[in-house]
Amino acid sequence: MKLIVVAKSNIASANIGKVLLEKYQDINIFEIGGNVLDLDKHEKEFQKIKPELIIVASSHKSEAGVPLLTCHTTGNWASADLGGKPKTLSIAPALCIRQGILEFQNLKAERKVLAKYEVGMEVTHHSPTIDFPVMFVEVGSTEKEWNDKNACEAAADVIYKLVTEEPEKVDVAIGFGGGHYCPRFNKKLAEIALGHICPKHHADNLDENLILEAFNKTTPKPDYALVEWKGLSSPQKKKIIDILEKNKITWKKL
């Protein structure tokens, strides 16, 4: 079962959920009253359901306020400032994240009403830190966009595609380096899928256990790691590459 999570208290999530219920009947919605970042509290319920994929409809918020349609997986590279457990990752469904971003790109090309929106994958960040494949499908970045029926409909259509269609099988990688919106990794989505991505500002927190967790908690199993060469300091690159090579994980320079 692929499970859709909708939070009534989240404006974009509630609006996306409303569209899903209006347009589609053959879906499984798990509605929560609290914050979308509190899914760790529902892990026992997920254990009973055993979903193969959890898709969370959510808002995206940023100080820049750029209109954005985005997908990402979850986990904490350092402290748990936004919930979950520190230095713990969920399972990243790489092929589905790629599928979500590519579908957002297709819808933007087809629908003029989405012209102002940027489309892109984000690095792994925030809660939950649960032992299930989980991804967020988000509309951002201000209340104006969260209430944009066109954007919320696009997110609902992406979610429905994720639930009803199997993603294309391509090579899978994990990534290290760059910024939060990972533009160089986004450019690779035409040919490969990305699971967990650790940005430069969290790379100093990486250790062997966390790098191996990023590899082992990406599904399907990654074919290699991508190291963004100009997106990391020399000490960060050395530490990451030493750990990858020690564990016989193939890596490539990006």
Q: How confident is the prediction along the chain (254 residues), in pLDDT tens digits per residue?
A: 999 999 999 999 999 999 999 999 889 899 999 899 999 999 999 999 999 999 999 999 998 999 999 999 999 999 999 999 999 999 999 999 999 999 999 999 999 999 999 999 999 999 999 999 999 999 999 999 999 999 999 999 999 999 999 999 999 999 999 999 999 999 999 999 999 999 999 999 999 999 999 999 999 999 999 999 999 999 999 999 999 999 999 999 99
Per-residue buried b or exposed e for 205-223, using 16+ beta carbons within 10 Å of the residue's own CB = ebeeebbebbbebbbeebe
CA–CA dist 27, 55 (Å, integer) = 12
- DSSP H/E element including 138: strand 134-141
- In this prediction, residue 25 carries a pLDDT of 84
Half-sphere exposure of 136 (CA within 13 A, CB side): 31
Kindly compute the dihedral angle of the four CA atoms of residues 12, 7, 156, 99, in this order, to the nearest 10 degrees.
100
With CA atoms as reference, report the closest residue to 75 among 195, 188, 191: 195
Give the homologous superfamily in CATH for domain 171-253. Answer: AF0625-like (3.40.50.10700)
249 near 227, Cβ under 8 Å? no
Sign of the Cα pseudo-torsion (109, 114, 115, 118, in order) = negative
For the chain, the domains span 2-164, 171-253
- 2-164 CATH: 3.40.630.50
1 C-beta neighbours (distance < 10 Å), count: 10
